[in-house]
Amino acid sequence: MLITQLDLAGLSDDQVRRMVVALRDSAEGAPVSARRYTDRHAAALVRALNNRHRALAVAELDLLEDEESEGELIDRRG
């Protein structure tokens, strides 16, 4: 199962975490095949959330290493 960043667009990290917890809770007592499906779905959500964090960290590093910005905040007010 693959969940992309577009699937998570508009959802906060906490909302995604609640979805994972709800999926795990719903798997309790379910038949094995249904439990495997919800486990895969929950794992895909966690992977997508981790990918989001990784992408944000890379973007932050790119900004910090930008030679033109010289690592300073730009004040455009005057």
Of the candidates 22, 25, 24, the one whose C-alpha atom is nearest the C-alpha of residue 14 is: 22
Ordered by start, the domain boundaries in the chain are 9-64
Tokens of 5: 């960043």
Report whether pLDDT(14) > 80.
Answer: yes
Rg of the chain over Cα atoms, rounded to whole angstroms, equals 19
Amino acid at 41: H
The string of pLDDT tens digits covering residues 20-75 is: 999 999 888 889 888 899 999 999 999 999 999 998 888 888 777 766 665 555 55
